[in-house]
Chain A
């Protein structure tokens, strides 16, 4: 069973490119198109990693992040946050909330894939509690 990566993103073409890239790297992909769906998917599917867009409808990426990292069961899930260049505030907030990695849009494909693989590799080991 290949590890599952959840892509939480609302822009269809970005979802399409990420899906293509992650699947090509040999991982399983699941997609959530808004914040609420993303939380639900994280609870139910327990993905090995999450690629989380910060600007999501319904519940924003930051909200999702807060829920996950505030939940003792889910907090070990590694999360890669997609931020926009210039939105330094979002990045700082995400860091404070416990985001595990960042990628800035527009991203380089190799960057996203390597970061995701690193996160997935980390989650292969048994959960060790919060990162800090």
Chain B
């Protein structure tokens, strides 16, 4: 048996060790050498302050009673860290930007730096944390009793307060926290020493629990007659609660509560958001924290089973971690387990007290002092001491509350049940907090309504019953309702019966909380500062901190600000604040001007010590009536916003207009071009028609007069009239033909032919004409070229036209015209080559247009090549002209081989002419 003296001495030594660690770290941090403390691992370890003695002892108890349900307490935070990374990041970013000191400061800052909201959040946090602190006291006291006396003493009412182990536990913890947590007033409420101590304790509790777990799994054999293996695998214990899934209906509730707690519990907000030194630490925490959760919960079930096996279900399962080693005769391991539990409890109490004391001093006491005007700021008094005193008193108050709750309310309940009451209280902060960073519409009035509604319902449905049960007063309240009103029964509100008390309380409190928050927010009009802050919070990632609340104007003396800062944060730190500002602004410290920026800066710095709301009040007193009204600021901001938006829209519109203008210009140029082409076409047509008409008319007149004409003359003139009218007809036919081809309205026969055959026929047809002109026409086309899909008549028309031109324009004596063919890639190519005058480079580009004749051209309508081009394009082919090697021109036409793209060719004919059609 461990004697009380030994255990107390060891506990004292342990506390002393923590103290040294914290002290050394603070010293190192002050000298800027606390690199280790700023590491992400230490940050993650400090987060495990989440694992209190409830977790340390209570998880095993919970497993022994309700089975796997205990896992939800670990799973909830795991989900948040692994899955809701973005939420945490936003909380941290906002808090760093606005120098947030606590969860109350955070929520109140969001709702226009409202002192009301801050006070309510502080109240909820204080009342909600009280059962939790009571739980720690209970577990430490109980474990101490078990270890030293062998049974629980605290339940004996006979002991007075001073005979209660828990009292001394509370007192020593208060001393510890006061020494640690209120050594100075930070500009940003960083406590590196505390963080180091917490991180160290998290390793101690993990080591202790793992040691007990390994002992149970490996070392503890069953002493039973039938079974001699490890106790926790004893078949006789197979059906016990630790192996069950527990009550699944509670799973969701518990998961939600645990997930909410990891951000809403004041101490979690303190370590996770306020104490963080680098936003990137969250990245490490997102996997390391879940890993820690896994490790610390790993042996829960074996320990619970072993406890049921060797300690027995009639003893308190919450103490199995301690009683199992004791039962097995391992005092040393039991002592280790006790230290682990002690670590869990002290770390929670320390952080909770620091967080709460900051909130109480900044959000409850300071505003009251400011309002009562007791605080004459124009006296040259150092407020640092006052602030510290307030915090120290707060710490004593917090622990006293915890102690009294423990004394009167928490004795009979299981640890887990008490913890859940606290969790449910913390969850009331969730709507105002999460709503605040994602929903601009949330207003101060909405937040107040939601928080109050949730808190009142929580207190009525959860806190009150737990007190009533223990106190024994008014037992009818729970069974019959207040004044016998049944539908107001705290645990069956509005006749909602048959749910577990936690589910029931959470359902009503959160429903009313969210309902009131949303409804009142929508119904109320936010004040200007609320609108500003809501914008800054919701758009935390889009806004630079520099632009925040530059709402000050006028010229305040730098000395006044300096004096104010000195009073709040102490002369040394005040000097540093101003020096840093001067450096960042590249000013000499002595030449600082108290402009809007400096005033805002000082306000932010002070906000780090006394909260945003109080800082604003204080600074506004010093800055006097020189502030412009916030309505003005908001108006200016709105107008600027609108101007920027308007400018942006104008810019966009003007660039759109520019684009449209370019398109219009292009379209206009195109239209003009088309118009010109049309004019030219008309002019050409009229000329081409007029020429034969002129001769026809002239000779017709001669014939009509004609008495003195010779028969030869008469014949000659009649023949000219006939030829010219033929020419007219042909011309009209060609114009109509070309027009049809261009519209795509043609009746091409798509036959599978060999163009070699067509070429032979065309050459044969032109032989006579060539002979007349003394031209040597040669057919060098091979017998076979390959199949193409083509209209043979049209193809022949093209070839004859080309050969005809080549002969007609060939002015060289004994000129040559050569027709050849080949297959190139997937196309059949036919060439008509002459040694005539050739086509000038200028003409080559436009020779396939309508009515364009080579400069040397004399006869013909000028439509032949244009028609040829249309015909070939309708076949998916093309025509081009190149200079011949020596003298003359080479006209080349190509057609796709059938099989290369048989189905595409007809489709193309439909599109291309349609595009070309606009020239006509």
B880 to chain A, nearest CB (A): 26
Q: Which residues of A contact B699 (CB under 8 A)?
A: 13, 17
Known: A84-B690, A85-B690, A87-B683. A57 touches B695 (CB 8 A): no
Known: A13-B695, A87-B683. A105 touches B720 (CB 8 A): no
Q: Which residues of B contact A109 (CB under 8 A)?
A: 698, 701-702
State which of B683, B698, B720, B858 has its C-beta within 8 Å of the C-beta of A106. Answer: B698
A11 at the interface (CB under 8 A from B): yes
Q: Which residues of A contact B720 (CB under 8 A)?
A: 13, 16-17
Known: A84-B686, A84-B687, A86-B686. A13 touches B724 (CB 8 A): yes
Q: A21-54 interface mask toward B, CB cutoff 8 Å, 1 = contact, 0 = none? A: 1000000000000000000000000000000000
A89 to chain B, nearest CB (A): 10
Q: Which residues of A contact B855 (CB under 8 A)?
A: 57
**Distance of A20 Cα from B709 Cα, bound (Å):** 11
B390 to chain A, nearest CB (A): 102
Q: Which residues of B contact A18 (CB under 8 A)?
A: 698
Residues of A84-111 whose CB lies within 8 A of B: 84-87, 105-109
Contact A107 B702 (CB under 8 A): no
Contact A107 B698 (CB under 8 A): yes
B284 at the interface (CB under 8 A from A): no
State which of A17, A55, A87, A105 has its C-beta within 8 Å of the C-beta of B702. Answer: A17
A10 at the interface (CB under 8 A from B): yes
Q: B670-694 interface mask toward A, CB cutoff 8 Å, 1 = contact, 0 = none? A: 0000000000000100110011111
Contact B701 A105 (CB under 8 A): no
Contact A105 B694 (CB under 8 A): yes
Chain B interface SS verdict (over half): helix
Contact B702 A20 (CB under 8 A): yes
B784 at the interface (CB under 8 A from A): no
A-B pairs with CB below 8 Å: how many? Answer: 56
A73 at the interface (CB under 8 A from B): no
Known: A86-B686, A87-B683. A11 touches B691 (CB 8 A): yes
**Distance of A87 Cα from B692 Cα, bound (Å):** 17
**Distance of A64 Cα from B701 Cα, bound (Å):** 30
B679 to chain A, nearest CB (A): 11
B410 to chain A, nearest CB (A): 111
Question: Range of interface residues on chain A?
Answer: 20 to 34
A93 to chain B, nearest CB (A): 15
Contact B694 A106 (CB under 8 A): yes
Contact B695 A11 (CB under 8 A): yes
Closest partner residue, chain B, to A20 (CB atom) = B702
State which of B687, B697, B723 has its C-beta within 8 Å of the C-beta of A55. Answer: B687
**Distance of A119 Cα from B686 Cα, bound (Å):** 29
Known: A55-B687, A84-B686. A106 touches B693 (CB 8 A): yes
Contact B691 A14 (CB under 8 A): yes
**Distance of A17 Cα from B697 Cα, bound (Å):** 10
**Distance of A85 Cα from B683 Cα, bound (Å):** 10
- How many chain B residues touch A (CB < 8 A): the figure is 21
Q: Which residues of A contact B701 (CB under 8 A)?
A: 108-109
Please indicate which of the listed interface residues B686, B695, B702 has the most CB atoms of chain A within 10 Å of its own CB.
B695
**Distance of A21 Cα from B713 Cα, bound (Å):** 13
Please indicate which of the listed interface residues B686, B691, B693, B694 has the most CB atoms of chain A within 10 Å of its own CB.
B694
State which of B690, B698, B856 has its C-beta within 8 Å of the C-beta of A17. Answer: B698
**Distance of A106 Cα from B686 Cα, bound (Å):** 11
Contact A106 B702 (CB under 8 A): no
B678 to chain A, nearest CB (A): 14
B353 to chain A, nearest CB (A): 103
**Distance of A87 Cα from B687 Cα, bound (Å):** 10
Closest partner residue, chain A, to B704 (CB atom) = A109
**Distance of A50 Cα from B731 Cα, bound (Å):** 30
B688 to chain A, nearest CB (A): 11
**Distance of A29 Cα from B695 Cα, bound (Å):** 18
A80 to chain B, nearest CB (A): 15
Known: A55-B687, A84-B686, A84-B687. A107 touches B694 (CB 8 A): yes
**Distance of A30 Cα from B346 Cα, bound (Å):** 130
A61 to chain B, nearest CB (A): 13
A51 to chain B, nearest CB (A): 13
Q: Which residues of B contact A13 (CB under 8 A)?
A: 692, 695, 699, 720, 723-724
Q: Which residues of A contact B856 (CB under 8 A)?
A: 57
**Distance of A84 Cα from B114 Cα, bound (Å):** 94
Please indicate which of the listed interface residues B683, B698, B723 has the most CB atoms of chain A within 10 Å of its own CB.
B698
Q: Which residues of A contact B686 (CB under 8 A)?
A: 84-86
B842 to chain A, nearest CB (A): 16
Q: Which residues of B contact A107 (CB under 8 A)?
A: 694, 697-698
State which of B687, B695, B702, B858 has its C-beta within 8 Å of the C-beta of A14. Answer: B695
State which of A10, A84, A106 has its C-beta within 8 Å of the C-beta of B697. Answer: A106
Contact A14 B683 (CB under 8 A): no
A96 to chain B, nearest CB (A): 20
Q: List 5 A-B contacts (CB under 8 A).
A: A13-B723, A20-B702, A21-B702, A55-B687, A108-B697
Report, nearest first, the 7 A-B pairs whose CB atoms are least far apart.
Answer: A13-B695, A17-B698, A106-B694, A106-B697, A105-B694, A109-B701, A106-B693
Kindly list 11 other residue pairs between chains A and B, CB separation below 8 angstroms, not including A13-B720, A85-B686, A107-B697: A13-B724, A16-B695, A17-B695, A17-B720, A84-B686, A84-B687, A85-B690, A86-B683, A105-B690, A105-B693, A108-B697
